[in-house]
Structure 1
Amino acid sequence: MTVITESRIISVVRAAESLLSQRAGSSVVLDDPEDLGGSGRTTVVRVRVAQNPLSLDRSLVIKALPEHEDPKAFHREIASYKYATALPNESRPGPQLIASDPDLRIMVLSDLGHGRSMPEILDTGDPVETSRAVSAWGQALGRMHAATVGGEVDFLALVRRGPSGTEGRDILRDEARRSVESLPGHAAALGVEVPPRVVEALETAATLFDEGEHRAFSPSDVGPENIMLNDEGVQFMDYEWGGFRDATLDIAYAVVTMTAQLPPRLASHATDLEVSMVDAWRSEVNPIWPTLAHEREMQRKVLVARLLWVWLSTAWMLPGGADLIDPDPSEVDASVEMAPFDPGLENSAGAPEPGTTGFTHDWALHTNDPRVLVGRWTDLAAAASRAGEDEVSAFASATGAALQRIWLA
């Protein structure tokens, strides 16, 4: 992780002061900077508003990108915040954009306060509290989706103000497509047969980024690390690479990443929590997408998206598949011996070397722990069985067993 120096923080605060002062027409003074970390590329700082000619909040959050970084993701994030800020308060998924300067690569956001992170809540192991939080998470996703249906033209108009090529960038879409292309080679290396239904489902899921019956706005990474609960409810914290896609991708992503963070005490409640999240989401989107009221149809659509996310997280872990993620070796459990695959297996995912694309986002979907992947396949097999997708269930069971045998036996 990049170490943010005190001089860098001070320069970011001064740049934000200048930006807000120009906007206000008189001096704005910011004080007491608090480093909030960030993705490694960005500087994120909370500041107190010490002198304020406008009706600004008492504290604000500044996010800044270094000058040498590829600005496309940052421009898309600004467009996402502008779009979300224009939504009604009850449908706004996260912080409000106060000011931004794409040339300086800086944005000033409303401060959501200290609240409670979703990983913190999941870690309590309290079934009742977790169920309420997970339901609120699904409901907030649904409200955002329902409020943004039909808004894609407005969003793209905002994106077009950024650098050329920003409009067409969708990192997860590109990675998902590569992972589907890698399926034959990786499945052969695992010794797993791929049924036609699995191929069909993965190919269908890969089209949901650009097509689909349920298109709505997505912050892109809606995993637990980017979810906070405060007095105003659920807040989504990161809009980098936000855009429009089929909403079933979002709810499936939330389910996959949520179950991976459940403590052992909640393992027996995983299915109930999945159902609670999906039902809460569906309660918000049913009026605009009535076909989802049919249980089997809804289960099938969410399952297709879920299969893609589980396969993508696995492809990232296989030899040569995680180049874009550039995992931190310190995160890998040294007690887990990773048996080698065939070193001659080509990286059919086609991912470029680290640093060549400017992409270093730490997705909630990504994991270095093989036990998490085995658990995801086990959960997927059970979900497929409930949905009547026997071929998907069999494939999920076989893949989980292969990973268990190779990595954990």
Structure 2
Amino acid sequence: MEKILAAASAVLGERVSRPVDLGGSSRSHVLRCETGDGGTVVVKAYLDASGFGAEVAGLPLGGGLGPRLLAVDPSFPLIVMSDLGAGPSLADVLLGESADAAREGLLTWARTYGRIAVAGAGRRHEWERSRAAYSGDGAGRRPFPEVGDLREVLPVVPAGLGGELTTLKAIVERYPVFSPGDICPDNNLLTADGLRVLDFESAGYHSAFLEAAYVRMPFATCWCAFRLPPRVEAEIEDVYRKEVLVVHPELADDELWEAGVRQAVAVWTIFMTWVLVPRARERDEPMHSTRTPVPSRRQLLRYRWSRLLDELDRGGDEFPAVREAVRACLESTAEWEVVELPRYPAFTPTEPG
């Protein structure tokens, strides 16, 4: 802690003190610190160089919708950012009691990420140069599993699965947009100035479809994942889509959009199957160690698999091997006997649509 404060003070050019731990992750330490004039800043010290480089490069591309980058120390490495305050997160609102507040938060969330996509349009080379300067040649992108990775995870590996995974993996580069990366509800702060994004540690360019799938699933890789009313889900997806048409107007084609989002749902579901199944087989535990309510690993997996089958049914006969593998996942875990994933607490079971 003393080393972090000393390095932050040196690079900022004024003393920071009285740190408050904001949580961070296994990849970083995040501290709210006081400055000499009584203000506060946020100091983030990294254990992962790729996360450091992505965030330093990504914050200036955020269109003013994230923290301002105040100082950078590549030798530590750490950054000092403006403090966005301590308002409720989107997760707090979704787990709360107001459907109106949750709906408005989701609409603002979708609009914000669409606008960030627009702000980063045409700036990919700028981001890549900056990221490489601070973290070398590692982009920090989440890996996508190959067939060999899934053999220990899936109950069956159907013929043709490898080819279908190759097809799905290609979606990552289609219709790219800039994104902070980790767009889960707890990384979004609802402030007096609107929604502000807290985390650019996984920032970079990936398909708009991968972002849109976060709406439809919802929140592909997050602990704060329950069901949305279909009406609300469609509304927030439409808001994001309209914003991103500024970058990729061809996505106004409904057939193209539906196929792309459907494939992105498959990509995220396969990825999270790879991540969660080994731990879920061992025992069922909550997706978050301290927050409540929260789904369990098994509960979330079974929902993801069921939802993907519904999506694939809309696509006709595409991806039969993926379909067979996912159906086998559901059949082989029937003994888990978990209750169906409910709606977000803010959207009661009687909430229309």
Tell me which interval the TM-score lies in, with the shorter structure as reference length. 0.7 to 0.9
> What are the Cα deviations for residues 290-349 of structure 1, in whole angstroms up to 9, with x where unaligned?
222222321110111111101110112334xx7xxxx9x998259xxxxxxxxxxxxxxx
1:222 equivalent in alignment to 2:183:
yes
Deviation at 1:389, TM superposition (A): 6.2
Partner Cα separation in structure 2 for residue 257 and residue 147 of structure 1: 24
Among 205, 209, 212, the alignment partner of 1:244 is 205
Partner Cα separation in structure 2 for residue 201 and residue 247 of structure 1: 20
Equivalence for 1:402 = 331
Partner Cα separation in structure 2 for residue 96 and residue 403 of structure 1: 49
1:61 equivalent in alignment to 2:42:
yes
Deviation at 1:396, TM superposition (A): 7.7
After the TM superposition, which parts of structure 1 deviate over 6 Å for at least 4 consecutive aligned residues? none
Deviation at 1:92, TM superposition (A): 3.0
Equivalence for 1:305 = 264
Percent identity of paired positions between Structure 1 and Structure 2: 24
Partner Cα separation in structure 2 for residue 147 and residue 118 of structure 1: 22
Q: Is the 8 A contact 1:192 1:398 kept in 2?
A: no
Deviation at 1:78, TM superposition (A): 1.8
Q: Is the 8 A contact 2:146 2:162 kept in 1?
A: no
Deviation at 1:241, TM superposition (A): 3.0
Equivalence for 1:291 = 250
Equivalence for 1:371 = 299
Partner Cα separation in structure 2 for residue 92 and residue 258 of structure 1: 23
Equivalence for 1:162 = 134
Q: Is the 8 A contact 1:381 1:396 kept in 2?
A: no
1:80 equivalent in alignment to 2:50:
no
Deviation at 1:378, TM superposition (A): 1.8
Equivalence for 1:362 = none
Deviation at 1:124, TM superposition (A): 1.5
> Which secondary structure does the structure 2 equivalent of 1:161 belong to?
helix
Equivalence for 2:121 = 149
1:171 equivalent in alignment to 2:99:
no
Aligned residues: 327
1:19 equivalent in alignment to 2:5:
no
Residue type of the alignment partner of 2:129: A
Distance 1:405 1:73, change over 3 A: same
Equivalence for 2:155 = 190
> Which secondary structure does the structure 1 equivalent of 2:246 belong to?
coil
> Which secondary structure does the structure 2 equivalent of 1:92 belong to?
coil
Deviation at 1:74, TM superposition (A): 1.8
Deviation at 1:154, TM superposition (A): 0.8
Among 169, 176, 179, the alignment partner of 1:206 is 169
Deviation at 1:191, TM superposition (A): 4.0
Deviation at 1:285, TM superposition (A): 1.4
Partner Cα separation in structure 2 for residue 227 and residue 387 of structure 1: 33
> Which secondary structure does the structure 1 equivalent of 2:22 belong to?
strand
Gap runs ≥5 in structure 1: 1-7, 22-27, 53-57, 335-366
Q: Is the 8 A contact 2:42 2:83 kept in 1?
A: yes
1:332 equivalent in alignment to 2:285:
yes
Q: Is the 8 A contact 1:47 1:60 kept in 2?
A: yes
> Which secondary structure does the structure 2 equivalent of 1:38 belong to?
coil
Partner Cα separation in structure 2 for residue 331 and residue 16 of structure 1: 41
> Which secondary structure does the structure 1 equivalent of 2:183 belong to?
coil
> Which secondary structure does the structure 2 equivalent of 1:37 belong to?
coil
Q: Is the 8 A contact 1:46 1:62 kept in 2?
A: yes
Residue type of the alignment partner of 1:297: L
Partner Cα separation in structure 2 for residue 148 and residue 206 of structure 1: 23
Residue type of the alignment partner of 1:73: G
Residue type of the alignment partner of 1:17: S
> What are the Cα deviations for residues 107-165 of structure 1, in whole angstroms up to 9, with x where unaligned?
00011111211211111253332222112111111111122122111111112312432
> Which secondary structure does the structure 2 equivalent of 1:45 belong to?
strand
